[in-house]
A and B are shown apart, each in its own frame.
Chain A
């Protein structure tokens, strides 16, 4: 239970390979954490399913502190997180207002219909405060803004179709530069690694969608262990390429094939399922998850027009 900041630094050292932290960075984090100026973290939830927070609880790495509880007991000064925090009510809101130097983490998109009241985050001075209002008051004072998950980064599933609550991504709603940790949900190591980079005072190189290049630099397809294998024509076949069943691997940038999920237990393709493209800004497209072949692909039937579209995808892959 008694986890020191030193333990946290060991974790950062272990993560260094994945996130490009150097010994100098680790030293810088140590200096920062030793001072009272270490940034606090304020985590707000908007129009989302909270799956990214649940995913964060799955954090585990090779070295102490291995898990999220050790991280929370250690150096992270988590001021506000609706799922895990002890305090409720005005005490919780007061903690936010008393915080000056903080990283703002946003989970969920911003509904703009109904005056923003499709998502109310708390009451303050007797008034309901919408998620949008909370962002407007907290974003300008944040040292950095991290959007966690597809809904915050790009609107995600609640913004799909006719977008009934007129959701705007938290990233664009702030009007400021945000670091977009994509994914539905996002991976715990992507969150922790990015925060470690920020604590080290490093700039985090971002792609055109605001995603850290160190995480979202390669396609799933490029690293897929089933690349080049015989094509599956229906589900339930062992170790075959899922391209013809709608796999989004060629157009999806994520490290899932080698980082995997849930403590390296598995990932989508390993479970015989096509990549759904859940880190792509277009997720979920209006098309079926089992397109580009369309619904018929679900039963293993081929459909005209597939080849052209797949060639486009292969072309995109080649550029990388």
Chain B
């Protein structure tokens, strides 16, 4: 007796994504035996940047993602600073960090409550939350009511995180204030006081609501510390420079394989992108991003995703808060659904505390911007982190214009399709073997998917093998 079910779209993520899951009995347990994670949106940002002035890159690339635009602004200006070999003034650096940090923190809060929590509790009993997927609910009525209250509070805190970013950044989403050489905003004491109030309020929520809720979730759903692990390969580019020389970072770069506690040194030269299973020309596979090409072709045999497959030393790597906290030595309990949730919550605390420290370093009246001279010809790259993980921009200049631009987003690492050697993407690997109670409503798969905080709209097709 076989059942065929299609569940599509998965909601509560950003963008467009599809996951095919085949469920079958394996050693007597009904579980995922095959999976395809697919990106369902192609816009071609790399292509319409070509021919533009390089100083437009931070504004164009922020529009890759309305949820985490600031990391793209940051990566773009870091790339341009590298191209011009410009050091930025401390006031510029700190403001960049504060706006980025605020984006991280509100994004994490948004993820836990708005995007992820409804996999574990029922939302308010009305649309748009009403759902029949009320499966494996373990919190009692009081706990659930408390979490829903926090859900609504989280919308407020997410909004305040965006307001904090706007204090220095002008507006969120899409700050106009990131420029090569520094930052446009001239900080005032009033702005510093205002940001400090937001930071205090966010930290209070993180310490007294978010972290306790994340710990409660990890306790009630303790089995999910053994579910959704995947490869255990973790990668971070590092982020939040704490000095203008870029020597000291809040999060250090590095990588580990198979959940090792000992991190290795990261080298940009080890990154390639593979496209055998993406809708891109095979001739563009295995290129380094500095030489990368984005040439779409649809349909294409074997292909099933609009994402490329970035690989580090040919290995699929998971990126995100867990990878960052692992490299910084703050968290290395394990790799699983709940480890991702916990690392994200603890990271929100660490960043907010750091923001309070950085705020005290702003010197009112000091410069925010150094004039830069971007060369007419050359190459450069900028590596940083987004809330969802490692982010890189690669630039080639010719005749003073952008001749080539490549972006590798965190979700590309996590949700990539199979690579040329047929190695599953990190999320695909994490979903494989997940035990599913009801193949028509595979909430277990949703929990794994959402633990990565994919920046995509998602669709899950569930097939039970015949």
A-side interface residues toward B, CB under 8 Å? 1, 45, 47-55, 57-60, 67-69, 72-73, 77-93, 95, 111, 113-115, 117-124, 126, 128, 156-158, 160-165, 184-185, 234-238, 261-263, 265-268, 270-274, 276, 278, 284, 286, 288-291, 294-295, 298-300
Contact = CB atoms under 8 A, between A and B. Distances in A.
A87 B298 CA distance: 30
Contacts of A262: 159, 162-163, 165-166, 171-172
B155 A48 contact: no
Nearest to B14: A50
A268 B62 CA distance: 15
Interface string B343-372: 000000000000000000000000111011
A118 B43 contact: yes
B173 A265 contact: no
A169 B41 CA distance: 16
23 contacts: A57-B110, A73-B126, A86-B11, A86-B118, A86-B123, A88-B9, A89-B459, A90-B6, A118-B298, A119-B42, A122-B459, A123-B459, A128-B40, A158-B43, A161-B49, A236-B368, A261-B172, A262-B162, A266-B169, A271-B170, A272-B177, A295-B54, A298-B372
Interface centre among B18, B50, B114, B186 (most CB of A within 10 A): B186
A121 B126 contact: no
A93 B461 CA distance: 14
A87 B63 contact: no
B367 to A, nearest CB: 6
Contacts of B110: 57
A263 B159 contact: yes
The 4 closest A-B pairs by CB, nearest first: A51-B66, A271-B170, A161-B48, A89-B7
A228 to B, nearest CB: 20
A318 to B, nearest CB: 26
B226 interface: no
Contacts of B306: 118
B53 interface: yes
Contacts of B243: none
Interface centre among A47, A50, A83, A86 (most CB of B within 10 A): A86
A54 B279 CA distance: 29
B173 A51 contact: yes
B8 A122 contact: yes
Contacts of B163: 58, 262-263, 265
Given A84-B128, A86-B130, A87-B132, A289 B114 contact: no
B65 A49 contact: yes
B15 interface: yes
Contact of A91 (B14, B16, B123, B131): B131
B11 A92 contact: yes
Interface string B55-69: 110011001111101
B182 interface: yes
B66 A89 contact: no
A236 B186 contact: yes
Given A119-B16, A300-B371, A288 B53 contact: yes
B12 interface: yes
Contact of B176 (A67, A123, A274, A300): A274
B48 A85 contact: no
Nearest to A53: B66
A79 B159 contact: no
B275 interface: no
Contacts of B129: 84-86
B372 A299 contact: yes
Interface in B137-180: 148-149, 152, 155-156, 158-159, 162-163, 165-177, 179-180
B44 interface: yes
A163 to B, nearest CB: 7
Contact of A122 (B9, B13, B69, B173): B9
B196 to A, nearest CB: 14
A271 B168 contact: yes
Interface string B310-336: 000000000000000000000000000
A119 B40 contact: yes
Given A261-B170, A267-B170, A85 B66 contact: no
A45 B457 contact: yes
Contact of A55 (B44, B66, B149): B66
Nearest to B461: A123
A271 B169 contact: yes
A234 B56 contact: no
Contacts of A261: 166, 170-172
Contacts of B369: 234-236
Contacts of B126: 73
Given A57-B155, A67-B156, A266-B166, A90 B186 contact: no
Interface centre among A88, A163, A234, A300 (most CB of B within 10 A): A88
A54 to B, nearest CB: 5
A117 B298 contact: yes
A86 B125 CA distance: 10
Nearest to B371: A299
A236 B122 CA distance: 49
Given A119-B40, A157-B48, A276-B176, A72 B128 contact: yes
B271 interface: no
A185 B16 contact: no
A270 B170 contact: yes
A80 B7 CA distance: 15
B380 interface: no
B294 to A, nearest CB: 8
A40 B51 CA distance: 44
A48 B173 CA distance: 13
Interface string B231-266: 000000000000000000000000000000000000
A49 B63 contact: yes
Given A72-B128, A118-B296, A262-B165, 7 more contacts: A1-B124, A78-B127, A86-B118, A88-B10, A265-B194, A271-B177, A295-B400
Contacts of B51: 161, 286
Contacts of A48: 66
B185 interface: yes
A236 B128 contact: no
A284 B174 CA distance: 14
A152 B112 CA distance: 29
A234 B371 contact: yes
A294 B400 CA distance: 11
Contacts of B457: 45, 82, 121
A276 B11 contact: no
A57 B10 CA distance: 20
A266 B167 contact: yes
Nearest to B443: A88
B66 A50 contact: yes
